[in-house]
Amino acid sequence: MKQIIKKLAIVLSVALVCAPMGAMAANKLIVKDATGTIDKMVVTDTGRIGLGTSNPTANLELVDVPGIARILIQTIATSKIGGGAFMGLHNNGTAAAPTLPTANDRLGFHLFGSKNGATVLTGGGFQVLAEGNWTSTSLPTYFTFETAGSTVAPANKYERMRITSKGNIGINANNPKQRLEVGGGVRLNTTATKSDPTGTLKPDCSNANANVAADVRGTLWFTQSAAGVADKMEVCAKDSANNYAWVALF
């Protein structure tokens, strides 16, 4: 009797897991919850996997409540190369004869947004692209960040910042020639609302600061003064006697 019950349990388990029948004929693998009524994972006949959804619209789709819908990758070992990883790869050509990327080929990307019914809306993200033709010894790459404005069509995202293969950063400038290039104004606002709860204090630009040369030298500081008092623009600099001080530019 025990053997019969065991075999029946196995048959029932298989029936719950693999149930391509009726309305669910397209799903070749189904894992249900403890009640046997809710699909928790499906694999469709097209190879798509749905976790928390019975109708995945991508190769892998995960749906759950906030704080739970996440992917966790962890390594456990004493190692300098540890840490969870995501790797996106791109090749041209074919699977039988793949070739390396060429200039402006996208190597990988992450987009963030929402769904409006069945329509996916993405308002921001970042991309990694080939800056030139790749070879086995030359991998020029650039990084872009993009967002959509509040008054443009949802499909229109614009590049806001770029990091080039040389390490140059462009803000509203897609071909920066220096370490930082800004296509617009730059505001120094020491009274701005800050995310750092400790605030920002004007650094010590004097010989009393043992780290002035390494940490403060070359720093710009703008002081917004009260009514009737002129604002000040200063730079931390060293004079010919090797004394450090804030030097007024305005």
- Tell me which amino acid residue 67 is: G
Per-residue pLDDT of the chain (250 residues; tens, 9 = 90+): 444 444 334 434 544 444 544 444 556 899 999 999 989 999 999 999 999 998 898 999 999 988 888 889 999 999 999 999 999 999 999 999 999 999 999 999 999 999 899 888 899 999 999 999 999 999 999 999 999 988 766 568 899 999 999 999 999 999 999 999 999 999 998 888 878 777 788 999 999 999 999 999 999 999 999 999 999 999 999 999 999 999 999 9
Buried/exposed 120-137: b ≥16 CB within 10 Å, e otherwise: eeeeebbbbbbbeebeee
Torsion (CA) 110, 115, 119, 121 in degrees, nearest 10? -40
> 215's torsion region: left (phi>0), alpha (psi -120 to 50) or beta?
alpha
